[in-house]
Structures are given as structure tokens and as C-alpha cells.
Amino acid sequence: MPDVQPVAKPLPVAPGRQRVRTIGRLRPHCLPIFVHESVLESILDYSEQDLRQERGGFLIGGFYHDQRQYIEVRSFLPATETRAGAASLRFTHDTWASLTREVDQRFPDELVVGWQHTHPNLGVFLSGYDLFIHRNFFRETWQVALVVDPVRQEFRFFQWQADEVVDCGFICVQSESHG
């Protein structure tokens, strides 16, 4: 992947127009992750549709800077052609091919800023295999992972901090119609 530089863009939060909610603990050295509430809702809905097997998808958005650099998640694409088990999820060659095609067609100006998958009733963490996926396919500083446990109703983001992948909080941007 060519080197991606952050694009100048004001934070997706207009004072007095949108409400924001911080979920989890924001780490001072991590990139703030802004997630639109509607996107978070669709990810949680998708995650709840299978409580027996893992499922996953991709986070679409951008890498920006305002006063500081940040990540914005604006859309979600469910993964297709995966191989799933009760405690495993594998992306296949066809998963990646279909992701590339969908992004080219539907989100030509956006980046794949991360991935999501579920851990039904296992809790939210990154397994050794999850770390393998993250290190190999989401190695950019602006690429994050979201793990959802639809049974325990937990979810958590993870991102790079130097060579480690650490859990981090995020900022949920409520849509204007709600505020």
C-alpha cells in the first residue's frame, strides 16, 4: 500500500450540533477514533445476527488531521466468503477480492481503516490469530480492530501503539437528528 498521509479535515464534531460520547478509556498517545453512531448500530446489529459463529467485516472511513491526527469510521462492510467457526473466523482470498471490489465501487475515496469481528460469549480481546491478521493485513498506524461479543454485549477497539496492539476507547458521534 502506498504511504497514506492524513488529509486535513476538521473533526467530525460541530460544537452545539452533534453530541459525542466517549466509550472506554482514551489513551493519550493513541489516535482518537471517531465512529458515527449509525455505523456503530449497524455493526452491533450485524454482530447479533449470529450468536453461534464468529462473523466479521471491514471499517471504512478516513485518516485525517485537524489539531492532531485522527481516524473516522463512516461505513461498515460485512465480510463475505469467510470460513467461520464458534471460535474462529478466516478471511479467504475471495473475502479480500470482494472487499477490494466493493471499496472501488462504493467507496472510491475512502480507506479501509480497520476490521471488526465477533467473539460470541468469549469476551473482547485479540487472540493470537487475530493479532496475526492485524499484523499482516492492517499494519498501518491508522488501521484499527473492533471486537464485539454479541452475547455479553461488549465491544472494544484496538490500535497500534508502537509495535504493540493495545485496547483503546473511541468517540461515538451521535447523528444530528438525535441531537
Residue closer to Zn ion, measured from CB, 11 or 148: 148
130 interacts with Zn ion by CB under 5 A: yes
Q: Which is nearer to Zn ion, 75 or 127 (CB)?
A: 127
Residue 39: CB atoms within 10 A of its CB come to: 20
Cell numbers standing for residue 98: 470482494
Query: Which range binds Zn ion by CB under 5 A, 14-22, 32-40, 129-137, 166-174?
Result: 129-137
Based on CB atoms, which residue is closest to Zn ion, 11 or 159? 159
Residues with Cβ < 8 Å from 81, sequence gap 6 or more? 92, 94, 95, 98
Does 53 engage in binding with Zn ion (CB under 5 A)? no
Which grid coordinates belong to 152?
455479553
- The residue (of 74 and 159) whose beta carbon lies closer to Zn ion is 159
| Contact pick of 42, 69, 80, 127 for Zn ion (by CB under 5 A) | 127
Q: How far is the CB of 88 from Zn ion (least distance, A)?
A: 8
Segment near Zn ion (CB under 5 A), from 5-13, 71-79, 98-106, 120-128?
A: 120-128
DSSP state of 162: T
In whole angstroms, the minimum distance from the beta carbon of 39 to Zn ion comes to 20
Residue 149 as a binder of Zn ion (CB under 5 A): the answer is no
3-state secondary structure 22-85: EECCCCCCCCCEEEEHHHHHHHHHHHHCCCCCCCEEEEEEEEEECCCEEEEEEEEEECCCCEEE
